Amino acid sequence: MDINYSVLKEDEKAIFEMRNLYQKYGYTQYKMSKFEEYDLYVRNKDFLVSDNIITFTDTNGKLMALKPDVTLSIIKNSKDLADSVQKVYYNENVYRVSKGTHSFKEIMQVGLECIGLIDDYCIYEVLMLAAKSLEGISRDYILDISHMGIVSSVIDSLNLSDESREEILKCIGEKNINAISSICKKEEVNGEKLLKLISNYGSIDKMKPILSEVKNDVNEKDVNELIKIAEMLDCCGLGDRVRIDFSVINDMNYYNGFVFKGFIKGIASGVLSGGQYDKLMKKMGKKSKAIGFAVYLDMLERLNETEKPYDVDAVILYDEKSDIKALDNAVRLLAGNGKSVMVQRNIPEKIKYKQLLRLREKGVEIVENNA
């Protein structure tokens, strides 16, 4: 079936693009119910994008929730795979407070999860598909990549108090360099390496000298893993759209290893978020490792928000004496040439059109031309 992409909204286009992309790489669709037991979400509230959850009591007395997230349900229903990988994608409605409207909305969320024996190729593939997902929305995108192991090790080397550590993590996410400096000064530690790591970002080649400066404070395996994956992304032509940014962090109670965020020009907030969440898997009683991401399609409402100059290309007026067959021929001719056509007895209020046409005995006559 041929699809006219020009009539689709940005989120609808994105769904088609991403579903086709994920299926090409062997990901199968995951389907779930609209709701889960509330207990699943309340035990992992910090993992959720928003802790506002719509709840109701089921007929059996259980407290249920309209799902605000898909990942938790996938983990709950996944099998522990010691020697293989379960690859799933989803496009599901979730119910939470939208960043755009700050009110509860039914939001279509698209994403994928890779669960099981996660190795370097799995990590590369997920990051590559994250970049390709952004590319399917807009050519003008950036995928920011960080590594929680590296950031955590540099912070650990400072021997901060638990309170200051939490403050530092918060400031890193906010890119608040001044606050980080103040905390380090208060704790009487040298935060120069951390500040340099956080305040710089760019290609892996640009970041290698900075990584070299912190090599004594971090696990060499983490650094080599980051360099290897980043160079693989570069080799497949994504290097100019991928940058290393250690200010990208997620909750360390749930995430480890790679974390990443995707941005589209014209939208201030990130539209894609993901990472490795082995710690969440362990918390939910799973031995497998996992990595995945989600694309927040409600954010795409802000893309191309410019008002369209016209609602329709042509409005054709007719009356009770008009030849309906001739009217149908005129509509099909215009529609066949790629025009949008509205047939009306009278000019509708508040409709913007390029051309106003009227059906006459001799054919269609142009009454008004705004093109």
**Residue 7: predicted pLDDT:** 53
**Residue 150: predicted pLDDT:** 95
How long is the chain?
A: 371
Contacts of 123 (CB under 8 A, 6+ apart): 225, 229, 257, 258, 276, 291
Other C-beta atoms lying within 10 Å of the C-beta of residue 338 = 9
Tell me whether residue 137 is exposed, middle or buried, using C-beta atoms within 10 angstroms of its C-beta: 0 to 12, 13 to 18, 19 or more: buried
State which residues of the chain have pLDDT below 70. 1-11, 50, 98-101, 301-308, 371
Q: How big is the CA angle at 185 (ends 145 and 220), to the nearest 5 degrees?
A: 35
Question: C-alpha distances in angstroms, 365 versus 312, 341, 362?
Answer: 17, 15, 8
Give bridge partners of residue 353 from the DSSP assignment: 312
Could you identify the residue written with the tokens 């100059």?
309
**Residue 310: predicted pLDDT:** 83
Contacts of 24 (CB under 8 A, 6+ apart): none
Containing H/E element for 349? none
Amino acid identity, position 148: M
**Residue 250: predicted pLDDT:** 85
Q: What is this structure's pTM?
A: 0.80
Contacts of 209 (CB under 8 A, 6+ apart): none
DSSP 8-state symbol, 36:
E
DSSP 8-state symbol, 265:
T
Question: C-alpha distances in angstroms, 302 versus 46, 267, 271, 289?
Answer: 26, 6, 11, 35
Q: How big is the CA angle at 348 (ends 346 and 350), to the nearest 5 degrees?
A: 155
Tell me whether residue 241 is exposed, middle or buried, using C-beta atoms within 10 angstroms of its C-beta: 0 to 12, 13 to 18, 19 or more: middle
SS3 260: strand
Other C-beta atoms lying within 10 Å of the C-beta of residue 310 = 14
Tokens representing residue 109 in the block = 């969320």
Could you identify the residue written with the tokens 């890779």?
114
CA–CA gap between residue 207 and residue 211 (Å, rounded): 6
Other C-beta atoms lying within 10 Å of the C-beta of residue 281 = 20
- Contact in structure between 114 and 124 (CB atoms under 8 Å): no
